[in-house]
Amino acid sequence: MAHQVIGIGNAVMDVIAPADDESLAALGVQKGIMQLIDHDRAEALMAARNAGRHTGQHAGQHTGRDTSRLVPGGSVANTLAGIGRLGLTTAFIGRVADDDLGRAYAEATAADGTDFVNPPVGGADLPTSRSIIHVTADGERSMNTYLGISAELGEADVDPALFADGTWLFLEGYLYDKPKGKAAFLKAASACHAAGGQAGIALSDPFCVDRHRADFRRLVAGPMDYVTGNIHEWQALYQVEDLETALEMAAADCGTVICTRSGEDAILIRQGERVIAPVHRITPVDATGAGDQFAAGLIYGLATGRPLAVAGRMGCIAASEVISHLGARPERDVMALFRGEGLV
C-alpha cells in the first residue's frame, strides 16, 4: 500500500492515570514536568500503578484498581494520527519490543489508521518505551518517560520500498540523539527523495538542538525540504537572540521554514514567500500535543497542495482543537473545522 505520509519517531506508550498531590509526593514525582527516567524507576512507577497507588488515593490506601489508560504516543506518532484522521494514508517507522506494551502499541496504532510497519522485536534487550503520566484535578500532567527500545531505531528499521511517488516524510528531532538515529534519518530522506517525495523534520527541543547543533545545521541545509520549530529551537539552532535573524538564516538554508510561537501567530517562509498564520487564542486545557497537531494540519495542507497560508492556518486550527481538551490527539472532526473556516 502506498503511504502519503510516513513518520519516524519514538514509539512511546502513554500510561495515563489520575492522581492527587499526596500520591505524587509519595511516589517522588515532581508535579507538572516531563523528566526522563531509567528502567528501574519505570518499573517502580508501573508497579505502583498496578497497585492502584495513583488512582487518586492517598499514600498507603491501595484500591487494587487500575484506572489508567494506555494511549500510543510519541510526537510524530501523534502527528500521524492527526493526519490520518484528515484522510491521508500514513505509516509509522518505530521500534517496540515484543512485550505487552509493545504489542498493544502496534495494535492500537493500526486500529487508529496508521500502518505500524515494523513488527515488535522479539528477544530485545530493552522493553517498550513508556511515559507514565499522572494527571491531577487541576489538569497538570506529570510525565516520567523511559525511552527504552524506541531510542535504538536505526538504518535496518527503514525500508526504502515504503516510499512512493509524492510521499511526505516527517522526522522527530528527539531521535537525532544517537548515531544510529541519524543514519536512519539520512537513509529515509534519501529513499523519500529517490521516490519524488518531500522530507522534513521537527526540531523538537532546544536542548536537543544544543547537543547536536552542527549536525542539525547540516540536516536543515541539506536533505530537509521543510523544517518546523518554535522560537527557542530556531534561536538555539543559529545561536542568536533575535528571531528574525534566525529565520533569515534558516530561510537561506532550507526551502520551507515554519516557526510556531506558543499562542502567537505562526510564521511560514517558502522560497521568498512569507505568510503569517493567525491563531485563535484560547485558554488551554492541556497544551500537550499542540506542536504535534500543528504539524498534522500543516503537513496535510502542504501534502494536498494548499497555499502556504492555508497550510499554516490548518496547523493553527488543529493545534487549537487539541489544547481544548485532555490528550495529545484530536477529539473533534478537524476537517469539519477546516470547512467551517472555508479552507476546504
Q: pLDDT tens, 170-215?
A: 999 888 888 899 999 999 999 999 999 999 999 988 888 999 899 9
Assign 1 a pLDDT band (cuts: 50, 70, 90). Answer: low
**Would strands 114-116 and 69-73 be described as parallel, antiparallel, or unpaired?**
unpaired
C-alpha cell recorded at residue 292: 504535534
Assign 282 a pLDDT band (cuts: 50, 70, 90). Answer: confident
Closest CA to 45 of 190, 150, 143: 143
Least confident window among 53-57, 183-187, 231-235, 296-300: 53-57
Q: Distance between CA atoms of 283 and 202, rounded to whole angstroms?
A: 25
CA 254 remoteness from chain centre: 21
Q: What is the pTM of this model?
A: 0.90
Q: Considering the chain, what percentage of its residues have pLDDT values greater than 70?
A: 95
Burial class (CB in 10 A: 0-12, 13-18, 19+), 198: buried
Q: Distance between CA atoms of 150 and 121, rounded to whole angstroms?
A: 11
CATH number, domain 5-10+76-128+151-340, options 3.40.50.970, 2.60.40.420, 3.40.1190.20, 3.40.50.10470: 3.40.1190.20
Evaluate the CA torsion angle 186, 191, 192, 194 in order and state its sign: positive
Query: Which residues are paired to 133 by β-bridges?
Result: 16, 143
Evaluate the CA torsion angle 223, 226, 228, 229 in order and state its sign: positive
Assign 67 a pLDDT band (cuts: 50, 70, 90). Answer: low
Assign 326 a pLDDT band (cuts: 50, 70, 90). Answer: confident
Over residues 76-89, the mean pLDDT reads 96
CA distances from 150 to 19, 105, 159, 232 (A): 27, 12, 17, 26
Q: Helix (H, G, I), strand (E, B), or coil: what is residue 179?
A: helix
Residue-wise over 93-121: b if at least 16 C-beta within 10 A, else e? bbbbbbbebbebbbeebeebebbbbbebb
Mean pLDDT of the chain: 90
Contact in structure between 276 and 314 (CB atoms under 8 Å): no
Q: Distance between CA atoms of 120 and 284, rounded to whole angstroms?
A: 35
CA neighbours closer than 13 Å in the CB half-sphere of residue 116: 25
- Which residue do the cell numbers 495542507 mark? 301
Contact in structure between 202 and 229 (CB atoms under 8 Å): yes
For residue 227, the surrounding DSSP H or E stretch is strand 226-230
* pLDDT number for residue 12: 94
Assign 49 a pLDDT band (cuts: 50, 70, 90). Answer: confident
Closest CA to 189 of 178, 200, 202, 177: 200
**Would strands 226-230 and 198-202 be described as parallel, antiparallel, or unpaired?**
parallel
Work out the number of other CB atoms within 10 angstroms of the CB of residue 47: 10
Type of residue found at 260: T
